[in-house]
Amino acid sequence: MLAKAPKGTRDILPDEVYKWQYIENVISRLCENFGYKEIRIPVFEYTELFQRGVGETTDIVQKEMYTFLDKGGRSLTLRPEGTAGVVRSYIENGMASLVQPVKLYYNITAYRYENVQKGRYREFHQFGAEVFGSPSYLVDVEVISMVDLLFKRLGLNNIELNINSIGCPKCRKEYNLKLKEFLRPILNDLCQTCKDRYERNPLRILDCKEENCKKLIKNAPALLDNLCDECKEHFEGLRSGLDNLDIKYNIDKNIVRGLDYYTKTVFEFVSVNVGTQGTICGGGRYDGLVELCGGKPTPGIGFALGIERLLMEMESQGINIPEPEGVDIYVASLGEKATAFASKLVFQLRSEGINAEGDLIGRSLKAQMKYADKINATYVVVIGDNEIETNKAVLKNMKTGEQKDVSLDSILTRLKNK
């Protein structure tokens, strides 16, 4: 076990980290364009925050949290998502007194005790955004358009946007009665989880993944058809806002989202290619959450997007991520004096922003040339006593095979102007 990573975790190795950095760069540029500021939140919070903020009836709280007591006997939990922590921070840091809306984004790791499979890990990465302080559908349109543009900028196609409205506590209360009436005669045939949800949160039954339950609830009344006037108007606003930006969407009356705190808009971006792990991004409005977590009543909306699933999707669509620039020059050296000279030249080159390498383990000249080839250096120059004496060396372009006699002093300027 000593040299084995815990189940559900993965290293991001040096030869793939550039993909992550690329995506992170695209994300931070995107968020800058949309006026979202980055927030960094702790990896763990008091367990209570997630119980309250994510919701007692959710899979996350019931089955998936990494909860432990610290040495002081406090119950802490590794963040299973970002929204609760951001909401806590918004309240704790008095962000309600800032000019509204407050628009935040984060890139975090998240932790869930899951059945590990492709696209489903125990440590994974999320890019998310949250907006506080505006009840307007315009914000719903803005956050959705941000994710849509992210996919475009990354070159992704075939990702569908599904939207729905799950109303507010007012319309949901009436709807729950209707739904329970529909469910009562089939309750015995539903799975145990659904049975447990019947009293506490019947809406979540519509989110069940069991084939049998899915079949039985197919004709259940939809919340979307039972919205109050305010929620109906909000949903119409969202639709016309998306149309206005030419963003295509499907209405999916069955999206309820796994988390308890959503109100009105809920949405998902789903890959048409990948099966059940196809949800790349999920989000929605949560107008009751800030108050639920101890703040003043404040409307909010956000989304979270799984980076692993995003990368999987990019790979399956054959999208090429630009590789970082390689080594510009390898300075080979022969003999003690030359090694000191080379090491100074390498440092000078690096100081000028050039990617330079030299020998670090006393390789023979032949082995150094092989190494230069392996690391794919664009130029190679060999320094020996003779070169130092005559102030001349051969600069070889490994890509074209071209060789040039150059003075040692000129190498720096040549590489700078490459």
Per the DSSP assignment, residues forming a β-bridge with 304 are 128, 282
SS3 of the chain: helix, strand, coil, percent, to 5: 45, 20, 35
Residue nearer to ligand ATP on the CB measure, 126 or 165: 126
CB of 27 to ligand ATP, least distance (A): 14
CB of 341 to ligand ATP, least distance (A): 51
CB of 260 to ligand ATP, least distance (A): 12
CB of 267 to ligand ATP, least distance (A): 11
CB of 113 to ligand ATP, least distance (A): 9
Per the DSSP assignment, residues forming a β-bridge with 317 are none
Helix (H/G/I), strand (E/B), else coil: 264: strand
Cβ atoms 312, 119 nearer than 8 A: yes
CB of 101 to ligand ATP, least distance (A): 22
Residue nearer to ligand ATP on the CB measure, 10 or 344: 10
Cβ atoms 209, 250 nearer than 8 A: no
* Parallel/antiparallel/unpaired status of strands 159-165 and 250-251: parallel
Residue with the shortest CB distance to ligand ATP: 306
Residue nearer to ligand ATP on the CB measure, 168 or 266: 266
The Cα-based distances of 307 to 87, 121, 125, 311 in angstroms read: 22, 11, 5, 6
CB of 264 to ligand ATP, least distance (A): 17
Residue nearer to ligand ATP on the CB measure, 122 or 396: 122
Per residue, the 3-state secondary structure of 188-221, as one string, reads HHCCHHHHHHHHHCHHHHHHCCCHHHHHHCCCCC
Burial class (CB in 10 A: 0-12, 13-18, 19+), 184: exposed
Tell me how far apart the alpha carbons of residues 53 and 87 are, in angstroms, rounded to a whole number: 9
Residue nearer to ligand ATP on the CB measure, 63 or 418: 63
CB of 418 to ligand ATP, least distance (A): 41
Residue nearer to ligand ATP on the CB measure, 121 or 341: 121
* Parallel/antiparallel/unpaired status of strands 392-397 and 379-383: antiparallel
CB of 80 to ligand ATP, least distance (A): 8
CB of 305 to ligand ATP, least distance (A): 6
62: tokens are 């019931």
Residue nearer to ligand ATP on the CB measure, 58 or 333: 58
CA angle 322, 323, 325 (to 5 degrees): 120
Sign of the CA dihedral running 212, 182, 56, 274: positive
Residue ranges that bind ligand ATP, judged by CB under 6 A: 81, 112, 114, 119-121, 124, 126, 258, 277, 279-282, 304, 306, 308-309
Residue nearer to ligand ATP on the CB measure, 135 or 283: 283
Tell me how far apart the alpha carbons of residues 30 and 32 are, in angstroms, rounded to a whole number: 5
Question: Which residue in 54, 58, 65, 66 sits closest to 193, CA to CA?
Answer: 58
Residue nearer to ligand ATP on the CB measure, 176 or 277: 277
Residue nearer to ligand ATP on the CB measure, 9 or 33: 9
Tally: H helices and E strands in the chain: 15, 16
Cβ atoms 63, 113 nearer than 8 A: yes
* Parallel/antiparallel/unpaired status of strands 123-132 and 102-111: antiparallel
